[in-house]
Chains A and B, each alone.
Chain A
């Protein structure tokens, strides 16, 4: 626009994504996947995951256009086999270390298993982060919107190093660095994502959210103490009231009658309710705030994002979904997926629309295979 020209407000028409998947259809795909998993001892998971993604992606639309998922099961299988090779090579290396460094030396008590499991735990932690990033890159590269491939720049290994360092630093500082970790891990994940040639941008800063976090942090400590005192008093009081000694309790636990099992379930449920009432809402309060912040600080060109997700909705997402999967022994997973997609569709606001003609198809086709590390080191869903 020429200097001094007429000012016009940017087009910021709000819209929301639409999810029109049906729970029954998703279940039919998922149950078929489980049946095939049992028949193939788990090897069909790459194709099953792909089918589920195709369903879910294509039932989400933004600005009237549906997403497409064009990944292949074969690519996930190759990714897994590569990760397997990586682990085999690592095991070989550890064998050599054991043979030449530890075997029949003063550290003979350090067995081969010790070295291998310790080293896998050591590399597994960073590799899970690398896998997260590389998995995201794979998923985005197989996702299209308006026929344009999405993608992810940046190095997964670089992300793995940063995430490991921040994770370690956060753990040794009593998790007081959580806002720093959240913002600095969100930055590469959001800032490196793109739709075609349209990059996303993230402009968050940990200092913006420290106040709320500290409030959560100390309230959380107080809540834990209160919950522990309440549980101790309730259990002690109940046992005393019933005139039961501790050894009698142990005896009962060894040979549980239907009544004991019922009692255990009631106690567990009561403890969960107490925990749920005191601790989890606090966590959800913080998480909802964090999500609102991360979303509002993200944009894609002139497209802005916002969400007004509430603590209660976050509770439904974090806690209720967890309970559904747990109580249904995993069979409730499609329900959780469905609920999550509905939540995103209902709560994510998109302001404006990209200039379609300016967003070009990227030359980069993304990785040829994917998610091996994620499959190996992480509980990875769809």
Chain B
């Protein structure tokens, strides 16, 4: 049995022969039979295993010296003589079945992970403590509005917050809603985690009547009660994690492409969320006996202003469904009470003054 012996003190290498007695592994020079080392069988072990290493070294526990046997047959022979050296010659695992097994497992796990993120978010998002969501929303709000002028009209803010909370209660939502109004544009409103709504005053200025503002507000309440901001974050985080794990962090360009895919996915989620918020908003207004035509008339007004609908033109790159589709889905009659009293509406119109 021929091996290479490293003494652990220097990089000298010796070709040696081995003999196993009942108690010892005797390492000797084949030329003159001079003993190089005698290792008690009870104290020898293998570092690593033959499945990961071509020739795992045999060592004396606690020592630096090593014995390396290249010939698999010789390794197997030694392992048969010294049971503690079994990892020296583990039976080789056939590669093809392992490759097939791991590939199938990988595909199945990716599918499950994807499914869990896609469908599990519905259940996972509500599990995130509300205080955490609120904190996140507040820090994002601070960040977004750091250099913006806020509208401080007390009566106007009270009016919009009153309606927001009425609508949320109608949906059985438990938490307090806070609406902020930012001076200027764009003509937009958005929702943050932690029941935070932000309206831009340009939207209020350009609204033809109070029902339009109420319609948009109800739409945003739809986002709040369905926890869309939190769900969106959870989904984006989940997909990002999946891509990172799969690419193993070995390719930065892959991650870049992956985040592109992630953005597209987020936009698709965005479109689904918008449809759900439209539907809920209109339903909440109707349930309270309020005019529910505001959101569709607001969309019509936007479309008339911008006939080349940006959302439709952007297609799969858009965060919102095509406006015409949304108008058709939210079209309602003018029946119902106004959502704001005349005094409230007046206060809201001058909230920034």
Query: CA separation between A250 and B64, bound complex, in Å?
Result: 68
Quick one: CB contact mask for A44-57 with B, threshold 8 Å, 1 for yes? 01000001001100
A333 and B250 contact, CB distance less than 8 A: yes
B250, A361: Cβ atoms under 8 Å? no
Contact of B10 among A109, A110, A148, A256 (CB under 8 A): A148
Listed stretches A232-240, A278-286, A308-316, A322-330; interface member: A322-330
- A51 closest partner in B (C-beta): B52
The proximity string for A residues 10-50 relative to B, scoring 1 for CB distances below 8 Å and 0 otherwise, is 00000000001110110111011111011101100100000
CA distance in complex: A146, B6 (Å)? 6
Q: Does B335 contact A (CB under 8 A)?
A: no
* A20 contacts across to B, CB distance below 8 A: 54
Q: Is the CB–CB distance between A330 and B99 below 8 Å?
A: no
Q: A24–B11 contact, CB under 8 A?
A: no
The answer on a CB contact under 8 Å between A329 and B254 is yes
Q: How far is the CA of A145 from the CA of B64 in the complex (A)?
A: 12
Are B146's CB and A254's CB within 8 A? no
Q: Mark B103-124, 1 if CB is under 8 A from A, else 0.
A: 1011001100100000000000
Contact A380 B249 (CB under 8 A): yes
- B52 close to A24 (CB less than 8 A): no
Task: Check B246–A329 contact: CB distance below 8 A.
Answer: yes
Q: A250 — which chain B residues lie within 8 A by C-beta?
A: 313
**In the complex, which residues 357-382 of chain A have their Cβ closer than 8 Å to any Cβ of chain B?**
357-361, 379-381
Query: B residues within 8 A CB of A45?
Result: 248-249
**With contact pairs A31-B103, A325-B254, A356-B13 given, residues A65 and B245 touching in the complex (Cβ less than 8 Å):** no
A38–B55 contact, CB under 8 A? no
The smallest beta-carbon distance between B157 and chain A, in angstroms, is 21
What are the residues of chain B within 8 A of A361 when measuring CB–CB? 8-10, 64
Expressed in whole angstroms, the minimum distance between the Cβ of B211 and any Cβ of chain A is 32
Contact with A along B295-315 (1 / 0, CB 8 A): 000000000000000000111
Number of A-B contacts (CB under 8 A): 173
- Inside 8 A of B65's CB, which chain A residues have their CB? 147
Would A24 and B96 be within 8 Å (CB), given that A31-B102, A34-B248 are in contact?
yes
State whether A354 touches B241 (Cβ < 8 A): no
Interface contact B109-A35, CB-CB below 8 Å:
yes
CB distance B64 to A255 under 8 Å? no
A108 at the interface (CB under 8 A from B): yes
Quick one: which of B242, B244, B315 has the most chain A CB within 10 A? B315
**Contact A356-B52, Cβ < 8 Å, known A109-B147, A329-B254, A330-B247:** no
Counting chain A residues whose Cβ lies within 8 A of the other chain, the interface size class is 35 or more
B170 within 8 Å of A (CB atoms) = no
Instruction: Encode contact with A along B53-77: 1 for CB under 8 Å, 0 otherwise.
Output: 1111100000011101000000000
Q: Which residues of A contact B48 (CB under 8 A)?
A: 54, 58, 68
Q: B139–A58 contact, CB under 8 A?
A: no
Q: With A20-B54, A25-B95, A111-B146 in contact, is A359–B11 under 8 Å at CB? A: yes
For A325, list chain B residues within 8 Å (CB): 250-251, 253-254
Q: Are A379 and B249 in contact (CB under 8 A)?
A: yes
Hey, which chain B residues are within 8 Å of A359, CB to CB? 10-11
A338 at the interface (CB under 8 A from B): no
Chain B residues contacting A58 (CB-CB under 8 Å) are 48, 52-56
* A339 in contact (CB, < 8 A): no
| A65 & B10 in contact (Cβ 8 Å cutoff) | no
Q: Which of B66, B93, B245 contacts A34 (CB 8 A)?
A: B245
Tell me whether A32 and B102 are in contact (CB under 8 A).
Answer: yes
Is A66 an interface residue, CB under 8 A from the partner? yes
A residues 223-262 near B (Cβ < 8 Å) are: 250-251, 253-256
Q: Is the CB of A70 within 8 A of B47?
A: yes
Kindly state the separation between the CA atoms of A357 and B247 in the bound complex, as whole angstroms: 44
Q: Report which of B56, B139, B245 forms a contact with A112, defined as CB distance below 8 A.
A: B139
CB distance from A11 to the nearest CB of B (A): 16
Residues in chain A near residue B103, CB distance under 8 A: 31
Distance of A25 Cα from B252 Cα, bound (Å): 25
A254 near B315: Cβ-Cβ < 8 Å: yes
B6 to chain A, nearest CB (A): 3
A168 interface residue (CB < 8 Å to B): no
Complex A-B, nearest 6 residue pairs according to Cβ-Cβ distance, in ascending order = A147-B6, A254-B315, A31-B102, A359-B11, A356-B12, A330-B247
Given A58-B52, A357-B11, 17 more A-B residue pairs with CB atoms under 8 Å apart are A28-B95, A29-B52, A31-B99, A31-B102, A38-B113, A58-B48, A64-B4, A64-B13, A146-B66, A147-B57, A148-B11, A250-B313, A325-B250, A333-B248, A356-B10, A356-B11, A356-B13
A-B contact pairs, 20 of them (CB 8 A): A32-B98, A34-B106, A42-B241, A64-B13, A70-B47, A112-B139, A112-B143, A113-B143, A254-B315, A254-B318, A322-B253, A326-B251, A330-B246, A330-B248, A330-B254, A356-B11, A359-B10, A379-B249, A379-B250, A381-B249
